[in-house]
Structure 1
Amino acid sequence: MKCYVIPTPQGIDSLILVERPDPAPGLRQVLVRVRATSLNYRDLMTIQGSSARAAPKPDLVPLSDGAGEVVAVGAGVGRVKVGDRVAGCFMQRWPGGAIDDAATASAMGGAIDGMLTELALLEEDGVVRLPDSLSFEEGATLPCAGVTAWHALVEIGRIKAGDLVLVQGSGGVSIFALQFARAFGARVIATSSSAAKAERLRRMGAEAVIDYRATPDWDKEAMTLTGGRGADLIVEVGGAGTLPRSFQAARIGGKIVVIGLLSGMAEVDPMPILRRNLHVQGLYVGNRQMFEAMNRAIEANRLKPVIDRVFPFAEAKEAYRHMKSQTHFGKIVITHGQSEH
């Protein structure tokens, strides 16, 4: 089989295509022919050697997110069968409950090999069936960005109709968060520095979009837009550069879910957390049960993931470069064969 590996993370050009023997499934394992994968900001950090998490394994096969069909199963497998359309879970050994060390040690595209390959050997408990309404390309966008947004809004945020959710930018997690919030009847305010992206966010249901470059004090604008109350839930993707403003844009007693560090790390004053009685929680994607619940909601609401651009397998480096350009809206996908998109 052909697969991409990162011998040493030294930038996008360190990605190389190699040939490896086809794997065979063992006890409670499934072999998946990968049809599509998608990129996350984590993947760019990994290949550049700038990840804040543990160093990736040597000769890593990158990308946590992928979808395809089961082509073989090992002994003891009962959850899926040959021919099923599935996506791999970000963490192969986190079927449910709270996260633990075993789960984080099974994170694909980092701790273990990922999905940028023709054939992927996955745990039986580490796959979910795709909604029938989604293509492989659409299904490949779900394992990290989709599940992260679901975890933030539903599992932690407990959103309900009429709640106000603030999302930052137009990356994969933020777009999924907007879609899920609207599906639950919640209101959404978004931030963006692009007029074109702002218009797309409005068409998707955002009732207001704040240009954070034209309005650096976007937290004050968010308070104005909410009549001085603030957001019930903020999906925080920026880190140190945006977290202090999120503290001020949340309502008293509001929730801030920290899921990214796009603007870097630095010391943050915790006083607003105390003064405003804020609930601030970090999360690391989500478990398989969350993934399955999200898929049921996607099917029921006929939601479609937003795909910015699809690259062929041979142009994987170009997909990374497109991610690095930060011009995308939604997800960047690599197709491993005939495209369904």
Structure 2
Amino acid sequence: MRCYRLEKGGHLDGIVPREEPMPTPKPTDILVRVHAVSLNRRDALILHERYPLPSAPDVIPISDGAGEVVAVGAEVTRFQVGDRIVGGYWPRWHDGRLRPELLDQPGCTLDGMLTEYALLDQQWAVHVPGHLSWAEAATLPCAGVTAWNSIVGGEPLRPGQTVLTLGTGSVSLFALQFAKMLGCRVISTTSSKIKAGRLKALGADHVINYIDTPEWGQAVRELTEGRGADLIVETNGPATIEQSVRAAALYGQIVLLAVSAPTSRSHIEISGEAYGSTLATIRRIFAGNRADHEAMNQAISAHHLRPVIDRVFGFAETHDAFTYYLGSKPFGKVIIRID
């Protein structure tokens, strides 16, 4: 089989193509013919040796991939040959809270999905919503589950409440879609007029240009008649956290996903004036567990939601896919198709 391995971090040349023997399922394993993978920011951080978890030597990269089960071990009960699956972002975290002994991730501490055939324990995968293509299914484990838990994982949102999303990263786009699915009003930010139009086409009720309106927290309050946003999906911290707090409703929720950014600021600063004016709750999440993923898939199936894809590359174009992802600001997911 063909695969890629991360022989040495720090640069793209460290991701090296290989020809390897086909893996054989052990009793509880499933063998998956991978059809598509999607890139996430964590894949770039692992490549550049900046991810919190140290990666295993010579690991197969990329956490998110979708494929077809082509063989099963003798004790497998959750899947059968022909099933369409995606691997889990935290494969050992099935339910409840994340614990230290569950801190394994494909493409990091475990072999990932940038391979023609992946061997997974049956507990490490979930079924794919039937209406999704392979490329669409491959977007779900990291960005999809993160956005889902951002929207539904805290105090329940009610139809008509306001959700604020920042930028046009894949988590923000998923969050916009899930919030609209729940009947919420969505305000989004971007610096691009073209992307503003695409955000509105995706369902955003209002779009604020954060370059033209640097005090966008006040603009959010004006659009909500002084109330503020009930939930803010904060993907751009720490630089944006002050404005997010200023945009929050009195008892709003701020879901903090990123705590570092490519700037000189490495710590979070919230002025006393901003935080003293709200009773907002700041909540941290790190994607989610298998039960969260399965609940999200049920909602995606019921509403026939389709993830946003920016561009698809071939398997032999893996370096081009990484280069594009790292050097551009895609609107939606970057996919590598494995034919």
TM bin, normalised by shorter chain, reads over 0.9
* Structure 1 segment 162-201 matched on structure 2, within 5 A: 162-201=160-199
The equivalent residue for 1:92 is 91
User: Letter of the aligned partner of 1:84 in structure 2?
Assistant: D
* Structure 1 segment 189-268 matched on structure 2, within 5 A: 189-261=187-259, 263-264=261-262, 265-268=266-269
Say whether 1:302 aligns with 2:315: no
The equivalent residue for 2:42 is 42
User: Letter of the aligned partner of 1:330 in structure 2?
Assistant: G
- With normalisation by structure 2, the TM-score equals 0.95
Partners of 1:157 and 1:211 lie apart in 2 by: 28
RMSD after superposition: 1.5
* Structure 1 segment 7-22 matched on structure 2, within 5 A: 7-22=7-22
SS at match of 1:156: coil
SS at match of 1:22: coil
The equivalent residue for 2:101 is 102
SS at match of 1:165: strand
Partners of 2:77 and 2:150 lie apart in 1 by: 30
Partners of 2:316 and 2:259 lie apart in 1 by: 30
Cα deviation for residue 320 of structure 1 reads 0.9
- With normalisation by structure 1, the TM-score equals 0.94
The equivalent residue for 1:285 is 287
The equivalent residue for 1:156 is 154
SS at match of 1:202: helix
Cα 1:270–1:77 shift into 2, 3 Å:
farther
> Does structure 2 retain, via aligned residues, the 8 Å contact 1:165–1:233?
yes
Specify every segment of 5 or more residues in structure 1 that has no aligned partner in the other structure, as ranges. Answer: none
User: Letter of the aligned partner of 2:6 in structure 1?
Assistant: I
> Does structure 2 retain, via aligned residues, the 8 Å contact 1:242–1:263?
no
Specify every segment of 5 or more residues in structure 2 that has no aligned partner in the other structure, as ranges. Answer: none
After the TM superposition, list the runs of 4 or more consecutive aligned residues in structure 1 that deviate by more than 3 angstroms: 269-275
Q: Which of 119, 122, 130 is the matching residue for 1:121?
A: 119
Partners of 1:157 and 1:214 lie apart in 2 by: 32
The equivalent residue for 2:31 is 31
Larger CA deviation: 215-224 vs 163-172: 215-224
The equivalent residue for 1:313 is 315
SS at match of 1:69: strand
Partners of 2:276 and 2:91 lie apart in 1 by: 37
User: Letter of the aligned partner of 2:313 in structure 1?
Assistant: F
The equivalent residue for 2:56 is 57
Partners of 2:267 and 2:249 lie apart in 1 by: 24
SS at match of 1:49: coil
SS at match of 2:238: helix
User: Letter of the aligned partner of 1:334 in structure 2?
Assistant: I
Cα 1:30–1:270 shift into 2, 3 Å:
farther
Partners of 1:325 and 1:261 lie apart in 2 by: 21
Cα 1:83–1:226 shift into 2, 3 Å:
same
Partners of 2:200 and 2:183 lie apart in 1 by: 15
Aligned length: 335
> Does structure 2 retain, via aligned residues, the 8 Å contact 1:165–1:231?
yes
Cα deviation for residue 214 of structure 1 reads 1.6
Partners of 1:33 and 1:309 lie apart in 2 by: 22
Cα deviation for residue 242 of structure 1 reads 0.9
Partners of 1:156 and 1:110 lie apart in 2 by: 28
The equivalent residue for 2:76 is 77
Identity of aligned residues (%): 44
Cα deviation for residue 120 of structure 1 reads 0.9
Cα deviation for residue 274 of structure 1 reads 5.8
Cα deviation for residue 273 of structure 1 reads 4.5
User: Letter of the aligned partner of 1:26 in structure 2?
Assistant: K
Partners of 2:321 and 2:260 lie apart in 1 by: 19
